[in-house]
Amino acid sequence: MSLFQPAPPPATKLGVLRVLSPNAGVHVSPFCFGGMSIGDQWNGALGSMNKESSFKLLDSYFDMGGNFIDTANNYQDESSERFIGEWMEQRGIRDQIVLATKYTTNFKRGNDSIAQKANYTGNNVKSMHISVEASLKKLRTSYIDLLYVHWWDYDTSVKEVMDGLHSLVMQGKVLYLGISDTPAWVVAQANEYARCTGKTPFVVYQGLWNILDRSFEREIIPMARSQGLALAPWGVLAQGKLRTDAEEQRRKENGENGRMMYPGKSWERDDSETKISRALEKVASELGLGSNIGAVAIAYVMQKTPYVFPIIGGRKIEHLQENIKALDIWLSEEQIQFLEGVLPFDPGFPHNMVGDGTKPFFGMLNAMSYKKVQPQQAIKPTD
């Protein structure tokens, strides 16, 4: 084979890789596979899955060119990590996968044989140590590509967390660091501490973001741009609440309902979810996608800012195939304004006064005329 021969084309655009973040040069798929559905312990909340169906879904993602998988120490009461680890080992593909997992949540919640569970949760170093050692065994690997702090506990200092995480990197047990479900000011403080003390900073932020909930725009996206972090949004499809009227009616008629992860939540769409779903369906129709509103919802977040890697889960291979069509979509400015106009987002003070930095502040314009350098843009399907 010639040294200059290009790599063979991937099976799908899922195999057209991207640099993870400005501060993490590893190359990953544009979608991160969400491993919360992998496992057999949360069937009541997420739908029926077993090892065979989990492996088939993982095989499908990998065969389409995917290499970026996200899980957590507690998902499916630990069966998610176990299944993913066994799958990678059986296929002999561990080093081909960029594997993310998380610590902080009590991963022994479902184990009644453990009387005291305090040390299995929190951001502290003991919880970190116990969780990472357990994850390495379950995942059948000697290293974790990307370790997330799952959520901020407000009990552990930034210093303790960053020193502990840096130690894991120095030991070779973890390669990159991420943080999830945490205020932007904490992330900025943590990365500033890391830079000032020669420690390893966070390079990815994970959190809830979709067309229904645009809170990311308030502090998270500006923080990520400033700190050089990628964004890995979960809930991009609003836990299945973004669906067409026809799909809603079909579920009512056959009793399929939907995922009910959180107690007290209805599987049916509320007024806001219905309005957004109808707007997405209109745009999907304009783009020739029929009723594939999920692809439009995914494309929306992917073009808002660079380095966005949506976490896409689910249980059905056909849903994954439909979602990949988002990689062919580029929404027009008019389509974005239409979607955002259905449920206007108010970022609050001071953002609604000084803006987000992409346009000149009115306080400057009474002194001069000038143009601003625009932030880096997301990758287009035609790039």
Distance CA 82, CA 344 (A): 42
Amino acid at 72: A
| Of 288, 276, 377, 375, the residue nearest 329 (C-alpha) | 288
List, in order, residues 6 or more apart from 48 with CB less than 8 Å away.
Answer: 315
Per-residue tokens: 220: 């998270």
Distance CA 102, CA 145 (A): 11
CA terminus-to-terminus distance, the chain: 28
Catalytic option among 75, 120, 300, 307: 75
| Of 211, 261, 219, the residue nearest 239 (C-alpha) | 261
Query: Which DSSP string do the residues of 61-102 spell out, in sequence order?
Result: HHHTT--EEE--TTGGGGHHHHHHHHHHHHHT-GGG-EEEEE
Q: Catalytic site residue 75?
A: yes
Burial class (CB in 10 A: 0-12, 13-18, 19+), 110: middle
Distance CA 297, CA 213 (A): 12
347 preceded by a cis bond (ω within 30 of 0): no
Distance CA 9, CA 123 (A): 42
**Which residue in the block uniquely carries the two structure tokens 């890789």?**
17
| Of 245, 20, 303, the residue nearest 145 (C-alpha) | 20
**Which residue in the block uniquely carries the two structure tokens 């692809």?**
295
**Which residue in the block uniquely carries the two structure tokens 């499916």?**
76
3-state SS, residue 144: strand
| Of 289, 26, 46, 75, the residue nearest 174 (C-alpha) | 26
Residues belonging to the active site:
75
